[in-house]
Amino acid sequence: MQVALVGVSGYSGMVLYRLLKQHPNVDHINLYGHSDAQPMPLKTLVPMYQKETALVRPFVAATVMAENDVCLFATSAGVTKTLALPLLQADFPVIDLSGDFRLKQPAQYEQWYHQPAAPQAALMKASYGLADLNVDLTAYVANPGCYATATLLGLAPLVQQHLIDPTSIIVDAKSGVSGAGKKLAPTSHFVAVNDNLQLYKLNQHQHIPEIMQQLQAWWSAVPALEFTTTLIPVTRGIMSSIYATAAAETTTAQVLAAFEQTYADSPFVTVLPTGMPDLKQVIGTNNCALGVNYNPVTHKIMVVSVIDNLMKGAAGQAIQNLNQLFQLPITAGLPTLPVFP
């Protein structure tokens, strides 16, 4: 398989390149930039890749489709809504890690991303690639956001099986610094992050509408959710702590059984029989680890969902979607053992 990768210099692109290099079904990776700059050696863009001889060439849609079997975009929001349109119109296989095609309504995108959206007809051709729960993919796959992945995997059994009061969902989500990307900001300086916790984008995070879009697809009775994001002083990892009121008296064992049923055939989702997961259980893997608990005093169900934001939250899930799109073994090219210590 010949694979195009657009946007190799960001964190997600770098991880995606590494995964593609070790994928048993990938014969060659063609690298493209999303500007009109002249070809540039990969090792110039990514200095730690000094042994790599690949060139990053300018993106030309016709060339990309002629040279490759699939194109993966590891670009920031605002790039693929124009660059990828010729590929989408030709039904050429695309996996898009940006947020440009996740939302079906242009007004939603414009509200949350603060820029014009792709055409409505183009948005409707994309499928939302929540890989462990959606295998019905179109040629254009919109890879979910990292917070959305962790949160939706934690909520799916509760929402799909109507186990909760749909008006009661609260999510307290935390992310490592790599989730903000490579672009430096005052809040991502070492002195701001170290020994500190920072809430950010309160009620304004761009992953909120895609979470709501999917929750309402599962159960239209979900009107909204309370969702907060906190920057924590770690490099990688997301922890979503989810709280909701049980719809009826239940037990931890019954809630656990619902989760085990939902993820019985998911090799990358682990439902812990007891206790709660921590970040070290998933760092470096495409796994999601889930822990559940029911408090009979408050009637609250708690779910803790942890992922590696650059793997399950970005590059790893993109490879999982690639495998599904081309009917390859679902675990091909994906590590399942965490990096520890």
Residue 37's pLDDT is what?
A: 73
156 and 240 co-located in one domain: yes
Q: Do 56 and 192 fall into the same domain?
A: no
Q: Catalytic site residues?
A: 146
The pLDDT value recorded for residue 65 is 98
Half-sphere exposure of 210 (CA within 13 A, CB side): 27
pLDDT of residue 137: 97
Which pLDDT score, from 0 to 100, does residue 184 have? 77
**CA-to-CA separations, 36 to 67, 84, 321, in angstroms, rounded:** 18, 15, 29
Contact assessment for residue 282 and residue 312, using Cβ atoms and an 8 Å cutoff: yes
Distance, CA of 290 to CA of 256 (rounded, Å): 10
DSSP secondary structure string for all residues of 164-226: B-TT--EEEEEE-GGGG-SS--GGGSHHHHTT--EEESTTT-TTHHHHHHHHHHH-TT----E
Assess whether 110 and 133 both reside in one domain: yes
Q: What is the pLDDT of residue 93?
A: 98
pLDDT at site 169? 98
- In-domain check, residue 340: no
> Distance of alpha carbon 336 from its chain centroid, rounded?
17
Q: Is residue 334 part of a domain?
A: no
In whole angstroms, give the CA distance from residue 244 to residue 88.
39
Question: Per residue in 131-155, is it b (16+ CB within 10 Å) or e — as a string?
Answer: bbbbeebbbbbbbbbbbbbbbbbbb
pTM of the model as a whole? 0.96
Q: Going by DSSP bridges, is the β-strand pair 170-175/226-231 parallel, antiparallel, or unpaired? A: parallel
For residue 38, tell me if it sits in a domain.
yes
How many structural domains does the chain have?
2
User: Can you give the residue range of the structural domain that contains 31?
Assistant: 2-145+312-325
Is 336 inside a domain boundary?
A: no
Give the Cβ contact number of residue 261 at 10 Å. Answer: 12
Q: What confidence score (pLDDT) does residue 172 get?
A: 98
pLDDT computed for residue 46 by the predictor = 92
Whether 258 is in a domain gets the answer yes
Do 270 and 114 form a contact (C-beta atoms < 8 A)? no
> Considering the domain boundaries, does residue 332 fall inside one?
no
Q: Are 150 and 288 in contact (CB under 8 A)?
A: yes
Classify strands 140-142 and 238-245 as parallel, antiparallel or unpaired: unpaired
Under DSSP, the state recorded for 51 is: T
d(CA 164, CA 154): 13
pLDDT on residue 163 = 98
d(CA 257, CA 278): 21
The pLDDT value given to residue 326: 97
155, 300: one domain: yes
Q: Name residue, tokens 């029989």.
A: 273
**Among residues 101, 20, 26, 34, which one has the least CA distance to residue 69?**
26
Question: 35 and 133 share a domain?
Answer: yes
Low-confidence ranges of the chain (pLDDT < 70): none
pLDDT score at 248: 97
User: Are 178 and 296 within one domain?
Assistant: yes
Q: What is the CATH number of the domain that holds 68?
A: 3.40.50.720
331 is a domain residue: no
Same domain for 150 and 112? no
> 53 and 177: one domain?
no
What's the confidence (pLDDT) of residue 229? 97
Are residues 139 and 20 both part of a single domain?
Answer: yes
Q: What is the pLDDT of residues 42-71, one digit of tens each?
A: 999 999 999 999 999 999 999 999 999 999
The pLDDT of residue 2 is: 98
One domain, residues 293 and 150: yes
Q: Residues 169, 304: contact at Cβ < 8 Å?
A: no
Same domain, 55 and 170: no
According to the model, what pLDDT value does residue 281 have? Answer: 97
The answer on 221 and 268 residing in a single domain is yes
In a domain, 32, yes or no: yes
What CATH number is given to the structural domain containing 271?
3.30.360.10
